Each structure stands twice: as C-alpha cells, then as structure tokens.
Amino acid sequence: MNLPEIPRATYPEIRAALIERREIALLDVREEDPHAQAHPLFAAHLSLSRLELEVYARLPRRDVPIVTLDHGEGLAERAARKLIGLGYRQVSVLKDGIDGWRAAGGELFRDVNVPSKAFGELVDAIRHPPALAAEDVYALLGGDDDVLIVDVRRFDEYHTMNIPGSINVPGAELVLRVPELAPDPRTRVIVNCAGRTRSIIGAQSLINAGLPNPVAALRNGTIGWTLAGLGDKLEHGQTRRFKPVPETGRQQAEARARALAEKAGVKWLSLADIEAWKNQEGRTTYFIDVRDPDEYATGHLPGFRSVPGGQLVQETEMTATVRGARIVLADTDGARAAMTASWLAQMDWEVYVLTPPPPAEWHETGPWQAPLPPLLAPPLIKPATLAEWLRSDNPPVIVDFTSHANYCRGHIPGAWYALRAELGQAAKKLPQASRYVLTCLSSLLARYAHADFAREVDGEIVVLDGGTHAWQAAGLPLEQDTRLASDPIDRYRRPYEGTDNSPAAMQAYLDWEFGLVEQLQRDGTHHFKVLRV
C-alpha cells in the first residue's frame, strides 16, 4: 500500500514562523536523551513512544501547524502519520532532520527545557540579581545572622536533598509566602534550586515585587554547594513547607504581583471573556491553574490544567508546546497567576490572568486528567491469571513499557524493559514465546502499544489489566533484576539531580548554562524581553 507523502518543512520556513510569531509546534519525537544532545531552541520534546498520552493536552487545536523532527531514525515520519491519524491536519516533517537544520545554519542546543534556561541566563545577564557562593551561605548558617533559605524546586526534588534548614517554597509561591516567612525586613532571604535558572528567577521575582528584605540567589544551587565540598552537609527527606497566608498578606502579595504583571503587558479577563476561546478555530489557548496540585485537587475550574507556576516558567514548552499560542492563568488569590504571567510575558507569550471567580465556580475536584485518544480494546488479563501463567511450564514473556526509572524501581519478575518506538529492534532481543503479556505502571501505554507489538511478533498478546500497579496491589512480588530489550534512553540524566553525579558533569553543565546567552543571540528567534523594574 502506497501511503501519501508527508510534506517537508525547511529551516527557513520554520525560522520565519518563529520570527513572525505565527503558531507552530516543532516536535522532537525522539526519546529524551537523544533530544537533549542536540535540538533547535523551540523544539519541544514529545516522544513517539508516549505520543497518545500527551498530544491532545499539548496540541489542543487539530489545525495547528506541526513539524516533527528526528536525527534520521525514521521516527519523525512515523509520528507525522500517527498525528494525522489522530486528526491533526497540518503536519509536516523537518527536511533532513537535525543534520538539515545544522547545514542550513540553524543553531542547535543541548539539555532540556532550554528556552526557559536560556531566558534565565538572559535575566541574570541583564538584571544581575545578587548571588552568594555556597561557602558564604554555609558561613551565614553557622553565624548569628537571621537567614531564611527558600528552596524553589518541586517538593519531590527538595525531599531528595536540600540545603540545611531550607524551606520548600516552589517558585510561583514566593511572592505570596515569603513575607509571612520573613516578616522582619532585616531577615536575609536566600533562594536556591538545583542549578541556576530557578534560583535566578526566584530571587529576581522577590526583587521585582519589592520585597524589603535583602535577597540573593545561592550561586549555582545545589550543584555549587556540592562542588564547594559541602555535599555531606545536605539534608535528606525533609518536609518543611510554606505556611498559610492571612488575608492582609494575600492582598499585599496580589497588589505587588499585579503591578509587576501589568508592567510586563499582562491583561486580566473574566470567565465570560474566555468562553469563546475554548474551542476557537485558528488560535491555540492553554488554560492553566498555577496553584499547588493539592489545592487544585480540592477544587478547580473546569477546563483548566494543573501546572504549578514555577514549573510552568521552568518547563514552558512541556505544557505550552505550540510556540505563539495564548496562555490563560488562574489561581484563587490573584498573586501566583500574576507573578507567573509576568515571567511568561517576558518570554514573549501572549498571556492573560483570570480574575479569580467566586468559590462556586471551583467545583471540579480531583487531579488533572489528560484528554486521550480513544482506547483500543486489547485482550486483558488479571494479575492472578498472570501469576498462574508464570508458574506454568510455558510462562509468557512480559514486556514492560514503563519508564526505565520506574522499571528499575521494581517490575514483575521476568519482565523485559522495552521502548515502544523501538519495538522492531526490541522484538529481536526478546525470547520467542507463544504468549506475550504487555504492561506499564497503569496499563494505559501498554494498551496503546498492543497493535504496534502485534506487528512485530507471532503469538497471543494480552495486556495486564491495571498494569504493574494492579500486580503490586494484589500483593504480588516485584523484582529489580534488569532485562533490557531497548537501550534506556527515555530520560536524559540531568547533572543537577540526585547526589551521585560527578563533579566534572556538574561543572560542564554550569559552563553550558553560562554560554546560553551567546547561543540565543546566534539563534535570533526568541523575542525575549527582560523587564527593568
């Protein structure tokens, strides 16, 4: 069967769309590790392996222009055809992939979440927020100074390891929470993250909002702390978090954040104003609730996705994947959405803040659920059936499509790790069997993978209903011995995560960040504008 040819998009065409601020979704459909080695500035990572799980949330408009890219592996073509099958109508493939981009003079960037990190470095270069070296901060902690250290990372990152005595206050919470945590204007406030970006943005947020306290970033975050030989001083497993804010504090934070956002060009809207945008043809809008996910779960507005504001600024393209789209932010206090919006506007997003509606409007409960394409109905089995099969003389081969990190934490005994996008190669490494059982943590990805897998092997193929979570809930054992049918390239190992990275890798990461401003200048498509308050 001859399939219709997918159109090819060229570097000049994509560059023109970015410079002219036209909507475009440039999708790197490789796994995250190869994506992190080299990609265009605004190429958002969306792997072919997980496409159905994320695409409807990240590309809500079916007529948005989409360009898929790879490094010659054939993934971009496959992803383009899958997108067309899911209803997208303007899909093309980057001509000659990464090599074509480079040959045409396009700039290529390393690492992940590069637009946000590059913007952070630009803020540092223009605004020069104060920064303290790790040795100086450590000395302050041992002295008589009144010091508050706020860790602006996600709680799970903070819980893994943190600067001694620090309190977890994720980025969008700072302007709302820090005045309550440091009511004495003489208290020195030090902002830290794992590397540089969130520390820079966090410290500058407090300065921009007019906090009277002396504010500084911990230079180079926990990486700088570790490179200074203070890694053994880190705390682990801490749960210190921000406090509730009284109404007077909320009003003051809202006024500060709103004044700042208005200077950045942010506008305010009501629920009635945005109703027509929800299904608008020809324009993409993202509706985002920037509060803490636990707050979101207790009550939120219909149609709004949960993305804490600090993470939205840090990982913008992972939510707002369409460059040139419109963003509407919501919260219940007026401060966190405005503060987040002030940064997004400087990153050249058309951004609006929703005037907080009355409590009755926040009637949906529970965590955010991504919209999904229709689920196929492959044959399902229960954990008890799989356990019985494994005790038989002819046990099945189990294939686990979860992330490699989840697989290593524990999987069904005998299970093989495989990447869905590389099933052709993976199937050659699997033992031949008359029966195969597919799983992942929830069984969702395994269900989408069933038809792909059926094209690669002979034999009966079933899906474990409820996945590995259901197996574990049934009281059945997990193991950690590994069997790899695919290389574990689904996630890039970040030099600032965990406590076992080499000093050379951490220093190389910092050196790379220092060079981002120069790369931005060479690329020339960003339109970033740093607000001078």
> Are 437 and 381 within 8 A, CB to CB?
yes
The pLDDT of residue 92: 98
Give the pTM. 0.95
- How much is the average pLDDT of 109-137? 97
The pLDDT of residue 375: 86
**Tokens 């707050």 appear where?**
295
Integer-rounded Cα radius of gyration of the chain: 24
Q: Check whether 237 has a pLDDT greater than 80.
A: yes
Phi/psi at 22 (nearest 5 deg)? Answer: -80, 150
- How much is the average pLDDT of 74-96? 97
> Per-residue confidence at 515, pLDDT binned at 50, 70, 90?
very high
Return the HEC string of 283-302: CCEEEEECCCHHHHHHCECC
The pLDDT of residue 1: 58
- How much is the average pLDDT of 242-257? 95
155, 157, 159, 161 alpha-carbon torsion, rounded to 10°: -150
CA pair distance 469, 467, nearest whole angstrom: 5
CA 187 from chain center: how many Å? 33
Q: What is the secondary structure of 158-226 as a DSSP string?
A: HHH-B-TT-EE--GGGHHHHHHHH--STTSEEEEE-SSSHHHHHHHHHHHHTT-SS-EEEETTHHHHHI
Q: Check whether 498 has a pLDDT greater than 80.
A: no
pLDDT in tens, 182-209: 999 999 999 999 989 999 999 999 999 9
Q: Residue 102: how many CA atoms within 13 Å on its side-chain side?
A: 9
393 burial via Cβ count (<10 Å: 0-12, 13-18, 19+) = exposed
- How much is the average pLDDT of 259-264? 97
> Per-residue confidence at 494, pLDDT binned at 50, 70, 90?
confident
Which SS3 state, helix, strand or coil, does residue 327 take?
A: strand
Q: What is the secondary structure of 444-495 as a DSSP string?
A: HHHHHHHHHHHTT--SEEEEETTHHHHHHHTT---B----BSS-S-SS---T
- Using the Cα atoms of residue 210, residue 211, residue 212 and residue 216 in order, give the sign of their dihedral: negative
**446 or 496: whose pLDDT is higher?**
446
Domains, the chain, in order of start with CATH, read: 8-112 (3.40.250.10), 119-239 (3.40.250.10), 261-361 (3.40.250.10), 380-473 (3.40.250.10)
pLDDT in tens, 287-327: 999 999 999 999 999 999 999 999 999 999 999 999 999 99
Share of the chain above pLDDT 90, in %: 92
> Are 310 and 120 within 8 A, CB to CB?
no
Q: Check whether 501 has a pLDDT greater than 80.
A: no
> Per-residue confidence at 499, pLDDT binned at 50, 70, 90?
low
Q: Check whether 111 has a pLDDT greater than 70.
A: yes
- The Cβ of residue 274 has, within 10 Å, a number of other Cβ atoms equal to 18
Q: Which amino acid is at 517?
A: V
